[in-house]
Amino acid sequence: MQISTAEVLVSSPGRNFVTLRLTTDDGFAGLGDATLNGRELAVAAYLSEHVAPLLIGRDAHLIEDTWQYLYRGAYWRRGPVTMAAIAAVDTALWDIKAKVADLPLYQLLGGASRSGLLVYGHASGKDLPDLFDSIREHLAQGYRAIRVQTGVPGLHSVYGVASSANASVGEGGERRYDYEPARAGAIPVEETWDTRAYLRHVPAVLEAVRGEFGPQLPLLHDVHHRLTPIQAAKLGKSLEPYDLFWLEDVTPAENQSALRLVRQHTTTPLAIGEVFNTIWDYRELFEEQLIDYARSAVSHAGGITALRRIFDYAAIYQIKSGVHGPTDVSPVGLAAAIHLGTAIPNFGIQEYMRHSPATHELFRPSYTFADGMLAPSEAPGLGVDYDDAVGQAHPYRAAYLPVNRLLDGTMHDW
Ligand code: EZ4
Ligand code: CO
């Protein structure tokens, strides 16, 4: 079974997606998500210029060998662009293999270890009343775990908050509370940041949410890489009374040792890894048991093959999965995460920020969301179909994630 075509499909049904479609000489097609938010065309070029020509004529069954060929064969290892490209190829080959077997992909990964995947949704509001409305809306939709992000007094626009300035808008023009950080335009929007104001404000918000919604609801919060280790330690400690499910990305984790300092000071569970792209980025964190949840997405960490290896490594330290699931992971990447999460023994939670109706029209996913759980369908493969006519109707539009500056203009982590 030889790979006969490799197509790189770029489309923007409201936001940009890069999708790889591989087809075989006997007529099977597989999809992979190669979306890298704000740097989409770099991955598209990497795939079409440097990877697609190498795939034509290869045996589509050789998933591991192809992974090693693209990883070792590039010589220049790792990095988000390379690993997103490898991820797309790997995912598409798994999709093909499962379609050939006529089985949903999770069956090839060992079968179902659970009946569904607990997810968390994104509630946000510029102030408490807005935030409470958003949480209630999510609970009404069935969510059983909620990420909480709020505005900070004095700051105009803050990561994770769907204020009127950056709320996404649904098909019918209704305001959606979930937050879409990439914004169309030739250059990134600039936001401002004040760590002291944030650290003063957040504990009061979590206290109020616990007071309103009770002790049972799992609550999460994303710091988005903005703190120094000692600031992160202080925040973790100050949030202990509110019993978070996890505190995410407290520091920029290029320096894995930073988490050692944080860990020494707090029992708040820690999650990290959405910007990581290989197993090596987790080594110190796993072996020293410095985190509780690994956040990589299939599409950013080298595919199903690589992410399963990461989660097996995590499992020996009782660390669980908490796969990244923002709207910039396409339904193809999310379907891959759902199949993997269904199979692995150490599933923790899955992030689920619903895609827009326009995105669903393009990808036609068959996974289901009910009672706060995502579940794969029984369709063979990933269970996602790409509609070319819809894809062609929505060409790429330049869009970027914001950049962040301190009040005095200094560039900061966003
Ligand atoms: O900012 O996916 O936990 N979720 C996140 C996301 C990321 C975006 C970046 O593309 O941090 O909202
Ligand atoms: Co995050």
Rounded distance, CA 100 to CA 189, Å? 45
Amino acid at 135: I
CA 264 – CA 237 distance, rounded (Å)? 10
Mean pLDDT across 353-382:
97
Residue 314 to residue 305: CA distance in whole angstroms = 15
pTM: 0.96
Q: Phi, psi (5° rounding) for residue 205?
A: -65, -45
Instruction: Check if 159 is active-site.
Output: yes
SS3 321: strand
Ligand approaching nearest to the C-alpha of 272: 2
Among left, alpha and beta (phi > 0; psi -120 to 50; other), residue 364 is left
- Angstrom distance (rounded) from CA 355 to CA 374: 13
**Hey, what are 363's tokens?**
């990808």
pLDDT per position as a tens digit, 321-338 = 999 999 999 999 999 999
Per DSSP, the residues of 162-204 read --TTTEEE-TTSPEEEEE---EESSS--EEEE-HHHHHHHHHH
The minimum-distance atom of ligand 1 relative to the CA of 160 is: 12
Per the listing, tokens 């990497």 go with 46
Closest CA to 117 of 317, 339, 274, 305: 339
> Residues 4-36: pLDDT tens digits?
999 999 999 999 999 999 999 999 999 999 999
Q: Residue of the nearest CA to atom 1 in ligand 1? A: 181
E strand or H helix at 129, and its extent?
helix 128-140
Distance 225 CA to ligand 2 centre (A): 8
The distance between the two most distant Cα atoms of the chain, rounded to a whole number of Å, is 61
pLDDT tens digit sequence for 287-299: 999 999 999 999 9
β-sheet bridge partners, residue 119: 350
Inter-CA distances, 405 with 105, 189, 191, 311, Å: 43, 11, 6, 35
Average pLDDT, the chain: 96
Q: Which residue's CA is minimally distant from atom 9 of ligand 1?
A: 37
Look up 61 and say whether it is catalytic.
no
Write the pLDDT tens digit of every residue in 157-198. Answer: 899 998 544 455 554 555 554 678 999 999 999 999 999 999
Q: Is the CB of 400 under 6 A from ligand 1?
A: no
Closest residue (by CA) to atom 4 of ligand 1? 326
| pLDDT tens readout for residues 86-144 | 999 999 999 999 999 999 999 999 999 999 999 999 999 999 999 999 999 999 999 99
